[in-house]
Structure 1
Amino acid sequence: MMVSEVGSYWQERLSNMSETESKAWDTVGIVTYSNSRQQADELYSEWAQKYDSDLDTLKYETPQNLVTELLKYIDNTPSTKVLDVAAGTGKCGEVFKKLGFKGIMDAIEINGAMLEIAKRKSLYRNHTEMGVYPDKSIPIVDGLYDAAVCAGSFGPHHLAPGCVAPISHTLRQGGVTIFSCRATPQATEYRDLLENEIDKLEKAGMIARIEVKEMTHYAVKCRETGNSMMSKVYVYHRL
């Protein structure tokens, strides 16, 4: 399935949108509800050149929200190291730069086309093309980073709920991770699985909760929610 092949489900729900917004929602919808991780990767490759402009059209606020929150809990020094997981085109990196972050940022991203866009922005020290999986360690020295951020990638056929563990292993003791998941009815089943995984890590003494709250994901009103789309934002530190 190509991004341009949008079914009647989305056409009906986008009938009241502006043409620009409708086209952006077409793409977001078909990628979000892809049938497999492989298909999602193929769709992102097709979407890469328009990704930033489409998400700007929909007022994608999660990168701004997550980075702003994260900076409350970490030092802003030249030696502070942050890992951007599923970095995409570098939208979190752009926010870090805009907010005057002085530290080091590394990016990992499974999709080469998206990562190439991020490289052109000269935001990160390292750009690693790789996926994150529940049953595999991220090939990074355990405890290397002071923080990890993951914006909008916890969802079906994207990052599995069990990916919280390998991401947490990249953090030093006391290091902070912040990530998000859509707070929509359609995401309820996935979100429950994610929170079960988080509970397991808490009970195992690996991470502890700092804060969990809802924040705006897309500010533009969407037919899926009838209003702005929200995300649930999770902030934890490694024990």
Structure 2
Amino acid sequence: MQNGVPWWYFHKAGGALEGTRLGAVDPGGEIWQRIRPERVIGSVVYPAVEVDAPGLIRHVEGTRFSLGEPSGEKSERATALAREMVKAGLQAPVREDIRSEIWVKLWGNLSFNPISALTGSTLAAIVADEATRAVARAMMLEAQAIGERLGVRFPISVDRRIKGAGDVGEHKTSMLQDLERGRPMEIDALVTAVQELGRLTGQPTPTIDSVLALVRRLAIERGCY
């Protein structure tokens, strides 16, 4: 379970990029070689939480953790894991296209997380402000173009996804929380990897590039990169 583009993304993905290692999240293919992608069950994490203190996590909302095999099959191991998670009171649907669901979640993380770190704003504040909402939307449209070149299906519109983020309310993104606590931020998994996918697919990412440059510089200055 992780946010952003997973290191195993191109395992059993098919197409010309099958087996490609992503340097942004797996430099030198170290994770691919040591853990091995065939051991992976993908997961998309939806709950919103905040770290109030070391070891004290406040649950804001959500209990869904979607699961899915990289190959798209509904395997026994995935369904067995889902059963155990449901017993624990969680929602754990097994998806046949986990990558598309990864992108719908990534849509928001890619844009709202770095914007929140740069501005100190909550999700609701970013969406309510016309200017920051426009920046987020531009980043999301660039990401959508990349995803569609990779065969991803986006079941909802950009504007509906933006509204969903705003509906979470006065929630600080994980990237902003990490910045405030001096912890490393998930810049590479959430933003740099998307930029890398843009290069691999020949899709320009001017807004993503600009925001990435700013948030990376901020992280370096604060010792959070």
TM-score between both structures, scaled by the size of structure 2: 0.30
* Higher fraction of helix: 2
TM-score between both structures, scaled by the size of structure 1: 0.29
* Higher fraction of strand: 1
